[in-house]
Structure 1
């Protein structure tokens, strides 16, 4: 019973820390975090579901709060955060597959969802396929490159850092 309670506390603490780090990184690098061409440094954290399921709610809450505090439109707050949630969930699903597949879900979910948010919430006049390309490039940089660098750094210490998985 006590072990189960400790695991729940650890899960919530990890989720809260991931949310806080995501939010701080997004707001700290705000000029790059929002818009039709964006490289959200915080999206590198979308690799974390490979290590702990606590990253799924942590990333979602971090994105949600970042979008609220960043002054984003309601559709962006809702659907942008859902894009991150979808990406995080499917990264967790792929955790036992090839490590290079792990960044794909957040790249794809954001590449598909964010351009529609930009078009309909902010009336960005660029063609949706072009925005899919620009968002996709930003996601490849943040999730693919930075996320895999983070994966490499954390994987060495996964047993001591992340006690649940």
Structure 2
């Protein structure tokens, strides 16, 4: 019972933080090139797959309450889920190290075509599918790889933070 409560609290906290950070930077979160600061949190999936439900739920809620509603909530959450699963899988394959973290950070940009499909096909944007794929990928790459990797590399080396997040930093190379 204690494990279930811990998991539910962690999931709710991560989801709430994702939504709050997304809305705190609203002016960056829903533009053509999205620099969604909350997306840095997807690297939590590299640390522990138990963060994945909270991240997907947070993405769903932020998109549902955003300007594009339920359609964005469904496509965005699906894109996040696939990327998050690949982030964790990358850790399993490449290991818990800087190289693994860098490669893992690329998955949200790689799956940007899902959001591009939503924008061009579902919403009928006049620009091409490839234009939107690049626009979404640039935002994901800047926030997650260029900003997130250094932040998480630093976090992983901080004993108090790693303990709070529930993982052991000594495994990280």
TM-score tier by shorter-chain length is 0.7 to 0.9
Q: Which residue of 2 aligns with 1:163?
A: 166
Aligned pairs, number = 160
Give unmatched runs, 5+ long, in structure 1: none
5 Å-filtered alignment, 1:76-115, equals 76-96=72-92, 97=94, 98-109=100-111, 111-115=112-116
- Distance (whole Å) between structure 1 residues aligned to residue 32 and residue 82 of structure 2: 20
Q: Residues 22 and 44 of structure 1: is their aligned pair in 2 closer, same or farther, counting only changes over 3 Å? A: same
State the Cα deviation string for residues 55-91 of structure 1 (Å, max 9, x = none): 1101100000001111324321111111011111111
Q: 2:40·2:147 contact (CA, 8 Å) conserved in 1? A: yes
Task: Provide the alpha-carbon RMSD of the alignment.
Answer: 1.8
- Distance (whole Å) between structure 2 residues aligned to residue 59 and residue 95 of structure 1: 17
Q: Are positions 1:8 and 2:4 aligned together? A: yes
Greater length-normalized contact order (CA 8 Å, ≥ 6 residues apart): 1
Q: TM-score, normalised by structure 1?
A: 0.88
**Deviation beyond 4 Å, 4+ runs, structure 1:** none
Q: Residues 41 and 159 of structure 1: is their aligned pair in 2 closer, same or farther, counting only changes over 3 Å? A: closer
- Distance (whole Å) between structure 1 residues aligned to residue 152 and residue 136 of structure 2: 22
State the Cα deviation string for residues 121-146 of structure 1 (Å, max 9, x = none): 32211111111111111010111122
Q: TM-score, normalised by structure 2?
A: 0.84
